[in-house]
Amino acid sequence: MGKTLHPTPYTPHPAPRKNFVPQTLIMASKNQEQQHPQERLDRPIVDQLLQSEPNDLNLAECARLRIRYQNFPGAREIQRDLDLILEKWQLDEASLWAKTRPLHSHGQVYQIRQTEEQQDWS
């Protein structure tokens, strides 16, 4: 009575190979770029920035989106358009950061404007 019988013969799994990467991951990384979860919502913002001048809000939006898509393995069209926006505004990334840093330090970029539809829960 001391032994428990298994309904099917037990075969141990082979030891994992060193530096093993599943084939599905290799294929996915070679064949597919990832779609950013915010890409669908960000596309209209990028389109609007392409048609706009570099005011405080537009500069902050461009900087925010550059940070979001920086080094992301996909969303190449948005990344290209963000480069075009900087080119159109005659800015490089360093000057974009230099212009937006003071905006954020004052905290006035993304002020929420209350409308009648919004409720004040304070």
Mean pLDDT per 10-residue section of the chain, whose length is 122 residues: 61 63 53 87 97 95 96 94 98 96 82 56 56
pTM of the model: 0.65
> How many angstroms separate the CA atoms of 41 and 34, rounded?
16
Q: What is the pLDDT of residue 88?
A: 98
Among candidates 70, 59, 62, which has minimal Cα distance to 108?
59
Distances (CA, A) of 1 to 4, 5, 6, 10, 55: 8, 10, 13, 19, 82
The amino acid occupying position 42 is D
Q: What is the pLDDT of residue 104?
A: 84
Asked if 35 and 75 touch (Cβ cutoff 8 Å), the reply is yes
CB-based burial label for 26 (10 Å; 0-12, 13-18, 19+):
exposed
